Structure 1
């Protein structure tokens, strides 16, 4: 009985997320502002691709600056000077002896800590994820502490093949070791809750700034709470209290007017464009091709960074063990997870490669959008650090060694880009995150199992 209620609590929170957008309310904090500090802030983005990459066509053969992009990296051709390829980084803490090929690796991708194997909701991710460390530092300075987006809803239940709860495969962003950040997967909901009130000429019937959405679900929340154990009651109360705090900021009319008055005409034009595309997407696009949906979500991330609404965001192209079919791509017939177990068959590896290239193409779209936006005498990409990675090198081997990692953006001048860098074998992935934290002047000498920063990447 207790176990049933624990799972229902997770589902209810997710259900409430769809109804009252719990984590999105925290993300939407206040309306957004375009007033930037004298020195532009650094933005951080983390992109997760499930199931790994074609291992033989990822890393360029030559290291340094004078290298040629591989087939999977070709979408970055116009951005070569704005990115670096990192070889031989691994998430050592994600290795689980005798268990799991995916979940331990995805859940700990941004925490670099060892998870707890469980089939219940007594989850443990190994610690706070790096994006939430950044969000905690800048949350008081921005309108949204962080934004968590993706394409797939959170999944529950147990993967009986490996004995892990599927919750571990649904989140890479963790507020603490027991609490994943719920992601928004609907571009219309994501856009409306953040920007709808500021779209020129938009008809906003139910302004989310005008009333407490939390009050409408308190009866359901209290009913659920009575059936939970003390520990879960405390967790739920803490979560609801954090949402109430956010709502107090949302309902501050003076702050709304103050920030709304600072939205530039350029941002208004972009809001109008993205809103129109979303409306057309809802009416026109259907079927298996997720390219348009993906780019709408990325456009919203760009708007959030441009307006300084948030400086931290994560995006999951799919949950761990994703079985999305990519038959909308030329030459691809199978689903992603099955193709990742290619058994070295050339025809399957070719399909696998094309799927990886599609993911890199979407990442390149995001970087290019940032590069096209001026911010003072620089661009938004100059003031961003955006990591693209998977939790596996090759899905056929389930190996966390030599992860496929790209870092884009110049971090406010703190990163040296345009390189293909070869690090010592089994260099901790956490070293990359420590580098990013120190690039933002965090007074930290350790993150996860880090041993040092990546000095060749630092200016």
Structure 2
């Protein structure tokens, strides 16, 4: 009979450190009688942000409860309906003007995970509050190699005027370690891959990447002997999980390498600065990042993650779906039917990308369920209607079952004005943080 395996076990070889997925053999109780309960897999939290609001007519369901019908936009998640809840009525008061005039886009990002009203400035005197992901990581983040990961598809900026007198630090960072400490997101899939699977030293990471490129070896090749040794010790079900995991890493590594070769400077796309080393197509870039997120959760490299599709007020176009106008420009639709149609198309494009992640997480067995079952992932925006710039009745989804704590598959309508931070307070409690409040919460949400 196989011995119990530590959750922190990694496969090593020449500068490579491969964390392992959750295996049944990692349960400290698996060696007890068959009737004993396996140790619960870890719980993960995540936050996904889309800019410029949503075409709400195609988003909000009419009915409540589990019998609600999917709207035109939510229809894109049809195969996952039983795996998420639609939450209506939640409000982000910190994103409102409160006498500061314009700047709703930057305020929305800055407030989305903090619940705070950021100081209006485009100088160095930025001031916000700690975000829910960082507050949680400060309490429980030491259980994993990375307390949290901050990812996205557009690079962060830390200075300059990005929105009506609001610093770019507000517009491009939703994770904040403290009032003056925005956490920049990583947008290069290759860099994320190296962080997850190369050795801890950044110098060693660069050196081993050079070695791999020279000898055309995969990270898995360097850790192969360790993997073979472990494979012999595992029961059949865990051997299959390990094989599937190693295959997925090799596949992702190949696609990341291909993305490096595809890197070009794209012209004619409004207000979209492209870092070097990312795929040309947004869908491909997103697909790789969803792979990184899946691997990060699967290997328990982190349990806390934030992701921004684009920065606040992003005016990039979407040629992949035949949208040539800039997103921000379209969001000020003035009730134009054609512009609203384009906005809804962009909304569905973003939701398709999120659906790809849900499919990946749902396809990985973990404990008595799936990896998605052990997640609670918020998807939404700090703006409801992009034309009105309103911050009430926000478009919010909560995906996953939080390890059985959530009854999913419902549309839950809260009293309009309910702070979004009421949800975050509940999520922090599920992660093991002892708190009765967060941000501007006035209670704890009921799910």
Q: Which runs of 5+ in 2 are unaligned?
A: 1-16, 28-38, 212-225, 232-240, 267-279
**Paired residue secondary structure (1:388):** strand
**Paired residue secondary structure (2:285):** helix
Give 1:452 deviation, angstroms: 1.7
**Paired residue secondary structure (2:48):** strand
Q: Which runs of 5+ in 1 are unaligned?
A: 1-29, 211-256
Give 1:415 deviation, angstroms: 1.0
Query: Are positions 1:118 and 2:146 aligned together?
Result: no
**Paired residue secondary structure (1:430):** helix
Deviations 1:265-285 (A, max 9, x none): 332111101101111222247
Give 1:324 deviation, angstroms: 1.1
Question: Would you say the 8 A contact 1:43–1:305 is kept in 2?
Answer: yes
Deviations 1:68-112 (A, max 9, x none): 111111111000001011111011122122232211121111010
Matching residue of 1:189 = 191
Question: Would you say the 8 A contact 2:40–2:367 is kept in 1?
Answer: no
Return the alpha-carbon distance in structure 2 between the equivalents of residues 81 and 280 of structure 1: 35
Return the alpha-carbon distance in structure 1 between the equivalents of residues 306 and 338 of structure 2: 33
Question: Would you say the 8 A contact 1:381–1:410 is kept in 2?
Answer: yes
Q: How many residues align?
A: 374
Return the alpha-carbon distance in structure 2 between the equivalents of residues 34 and 65 of structure 1: 32
Matching residue of 2:334 = 343
Give 1:114 deviation, angstroms: 1.5
**Paired residue secondary structure (2:307):** strand
Indicate which of 143, 146, 162 corresponds to 1:144.
146
Q: TM-score, normalised by structure 2?
A: 0.79
Query: Are positions 1:91 and 2:92 aligned together?
Result: yes
Return the alpha-carbon distance in structure 1 between the equivalents of residues 48 and 80 of structure 2: 17
Return the alpha-carbon distance in structure 1 between the equivalents of residues 162 and 249 of structure 2: 45
Question: Would you say the 8 A contact 1:136–1:145 is kept in 2?
Answer: yes
CA RMSD of aligned residues (A): 2.5
**Counterpart mapping for 1:156-175 below 5 A:** 156-159=158-161, 162-175=164-177
Give 1:31 deviation, angstroms: 5.9
Q: 1:204 to 1:272 in 2, by over 3 A?
A: farther
Matching residue of 1:388 = 379
Question: Would you say the 8 A contact 1:46–1:315 is kept in 2?
Answer: yes
Query: Are positions 1:64 and 2:69 aligned together?
Result: no
Query: Are positions 1:404 and 2:404 aligned together?
Result: no
Indicate which of 363, 370, 374 corresponds to 2:365.
374
**Paired residue secondary structure (1:71):** coil
Matching residue of 1:283 = 261
Question: Would you say the 8 A contact 1:64–1:419 is kept in 2?
Answer: yes
Q: TM-score, normalised by structure 1?
A: 0.77
Indicate which of 286, 289, 298 corresponds to 1:297.
289
Return the alpha-carbon distance in structure 2 between the equivalents of residues 306 and 297 of structure 1: 14
Query: Are positions 1:361 and 2:367 aligned together?
Result: no
**Counterpart mapping for 1:200-239 below 5 A:** 206-207=207-208
Q: 1:62 to 1:417 in 2, by over 3 A?
A: same
Return the alpha-carbon distance in structure 2 between the equivalents of residues 423 and 308 of structure 1: 33
Indicate which of 445, 451, 457 corresponds to 2:436.
445
Deviations 1:322-380 (A, max 9, x none): 011112104x2211111111111001100000000111111111111100000022100
Return the alpha-carbon distance in structure 1 between the equivalents of residues 349 and 325 of structure 2: 14
Question: Would you say the 8 A contact 2:108–2:382 is kept in 1?
Answer: yes
Question: Would you say the 8 A contact 1:333–1:351 is kept in 2?
Answer: no
**Paired residue secondary structure (1:118):** coil
Return the alpha-carbon distance in structure 2 between the equivalents of residues 189 and 411 of structure 1: 29
Deviations 1:174-229 (A, max 9, x none): 1111101111111111112322569xxxx987138x9xxxxxxxxxxxxxxxxxxx
Matching residue of 2:269 = none
Q: Identify the range of structure 1 (184-193 vs 296-305) with the bigger mean alpha-carbon deviation.
A: 184-193
Return the alpha-carbon distance in structure 1 between the equivalents of residues 364 and 162 of structure 2: 47
Q: 1:142 to 1:271 in 2, by over 3 A?
A: same
Return the alpha-carbon distance in structure 2 between the equivalents of residues 107 and 403 of structure 1: 15
